[in-house]
Amino acid sequence: MSNEVEIKKNIMQRVKLDKVVVHISVGGDWNKLQKAAKLLEEITGQKPIIKKAKRTIKSFGISRNQPISAMVTLRKDKAKSFLLRALDAVDYRIKESSFDENGNLAFGISEHLMLPDVRYDPEIGIFGMDIIVSLAKPGRRVKLRKYRRSRLGKNAKVTKEEAIEFFKSEFNVEVI
């Protein structure tokens, strides 16, 4: 028990919200992709980027380098405010299987209309979206920087249990 108290005191062991990625995949239809990108810009207030297919999948009618999805990466205050809206859309209930071993969370929303303060626009239509949340501890930059890059120790990585505890305490999420 004293070890848990020490971890809470150590600021290098505190988990924080790193980024939130909002992703809408529509397949090969260019018109639907433009509508999805417009929707993402309205919802997040940030210009989305268009992602291309990495390989050809004939059964889906997708060829390599064909634009198939739009995504936005949110950080800091924008990330937290959007995450609160997204969690409200799923009633603050997340499956335990949505967490991975590296402390990331991914869940989906079947209709963007589930988000609070979003109205239906017949010009755009209805889209589902994936929301991916990445958590980190201070010092993660050591692994990512170009100059004097170094590996992280096992205590510097976010575990599944720490991620679940973070969401329970910070956002009052019920993990089922």
Average pLDDT score over residue span 127-146: 88
Is residue 42 a contact partner of residue 24, using CB atoms and an 8 Å limit?
no
Is a pLDDT exceeding 80 seen at residue 8?
no
Between CA 170 and CA 48 the distance in angstroms is 28
Is a pLDDT exceeding 70 seen at residue 2?
no
Is a pLDDT exceeding 60 seen at residue 135?
yes
Would you say how long the chain is, in residues? Answer: 176
Domains and CATH numbers, the chain: 18-175 (3.30.1440.10)
Burial class (CB in 10 A: 0-12, 13-18, 19+), 22: buried
Residue listed under structure tokens 């973070």: 166
The structure's pTM equals: 0.84
State pLDDT tens for residues 17-67. 999 999 999 887 889 999 999 999 999 999 999 999 899 888 888 888 889
Position 77 scores a pLDDT of 93
Position 46 scores a pLDDT of 92
Between CA 104 and CA 93 the distance in angstroms is 16
Position 5 scores a pLDDT of 52
Own/partner pairs for 5-12, CB < 8 Å, 24+ apart? 11/138, 12/137, 12/138, 12/139, 12/156
Average pLDDT score over residue span 141-166: 86
Position 6 scores a pLDDT of 52
State pLDDT tens for residues 59-115. 888 888 889 999 999 999 999 999 999 999 999 999 999 999 988 999 999 988 888
